[in-house]
Amino acid sequence: MKTTFIISLVITSSWVNAFGQDSTSVTQNSKSPIYWLFDAHYRMAVQYNDFDEAKSALYNLVLIEPQNDSLRYNLAYLYYDAGKYPSSILACKDILAMNPNHLGALELSGVSYENLGLKDKALVNYEKLYMKTSNLNSLYKMAFLQYDLKKYAECNVNIDLLLEKKELNDAKVVFDEDGKSVEYPMQVAVLNLKGLVKKAQGHTAEAKKAFEDALAIAPGFALAKKNLAEIK
């Protein structure tokens, strides 16, 4: 059974999603006729899902307002959405040089690094993001990346921190199981991760208990079933 955790980009009210957004939010302060022309060009390209034209219009807008980090973020997101992760990272670097507290750029950069397999760089971005937001998803991503990087001591600390958080009880995650999206409490994903770390460290009994704890909450959780079966 193929089971994959779906990692999705978190967009909050303060973070801009380039495709599907109301572009007036990033152009409302501009009065230049040429600016509005390129803005209309951008909005039409977004409407028709035309990446190249939207990118071209955004380049022109950025040249007119180089300090507008929202425009640069839209450009970074366009690159991310098109799978051009190095370009997305470079755009995010420019944003963060102007505004180190730009949460969207921190996360987008982290996701882009992860998609390139550069998990150590992704972890740095998620650590910065968590320090600024105390966001549950960011902490889970940190722990998962630490597991992948075999930083088990740090991973265990963050797993314990996650399990102590009250908001974990209401948080959800989505897994792809045989082509179907299945939602589970985030707590079971954290317990499963705890089991994986304990298994990697050679603590079989603790790993077994963690998987069993996950299944006690969600008996149908395929990953925990598989991991428990491998221990047995």
**Per-residue model confidence as pLDDT tens digits over 81-97:** 999 999 999 999 999 99
Same domain, 20 and 124: yes
In this predicted structure, what is the pLDDT of residue 100? 94
Which residues does 122 contact at the CB level (< 8 Å), separation at least 6?
A: 110, 111, 113, 114, 145
Residue 13: CATH number of its domain: 1.25.40.10
Same domain, 110 and 173: no
**Per-residue model confidence as pLDDT tens digits over 182-196:** 899 999 999 999 999
Determine contact, residues 61/71, Cβ cutoff 8 Å.
Answer: yes
Domain boundary among 110, 133, 156: 133
Q: CA end-to-end span of the chain, whole Å?
A: 18
Cα angle 40, 106, 103; round to 5: 70
Which residues does 102 contact at the CB level (< 8 Å), separation at least 6?
A: 69, 73, 95, 96
- What percent of the chain is modeled with pLDDT above 70? 87
Which two structure tokens, joined as six digits, stand for 46? 């977004």
Does residue 3 form part of some domain? no
Same domain, 147 and 81: no
Domain ranges, residue 181: 139-232
In this predicted structure, what is the pLDDT of residue 140? 95
The DSSP result for the chain, as a single string, is --EEE-------TTS--STTS-THHHHTT---HHHHHHHHHHHHHHHTT-HHHHHHHHHHHHHH-TT-HHHHHHHHHHHHHTT-HHHHHHHHHHHHHH-TT-HHHHHHHHHHHHHTT-HHHHHHHHHHHHHHH--HHHHHHHHHHHHHTT-HHHHHHHHHHHHH-GGGGG-EEEEEETTEEEEEEHHHHHHHHHHHHHHHTT-HHHHHHHHHHHHHH-TT-HHHHHHHHHH-
Same domain, 65 and 165: no
Domain boundary among 98, 133, 168: 133
Determine contact, residues 139/37, Cβ cutoff 8 Å.
Answer: no
Same domain, 25 and 45: yes
Same domain, 111 and 145: no
**Per-residue model confidence as pLDDT tens digits over 14-72:** 333 443 343 444 444 445 788 888 888 888 988 888 999 999 999 999 999 999 999 99
In this predicted structure, what is the pLDDT of residue 2? 44
Closest CA to 143 of 121, 161, 131: 161
In this predicted structure, what is the pLDDT of residue 148? 97
Same domain, 14 and 107: yes
Domain boundary among 133, 162, 196: 133
In this predicted structure, what is the pLDDT of residue 125? 97
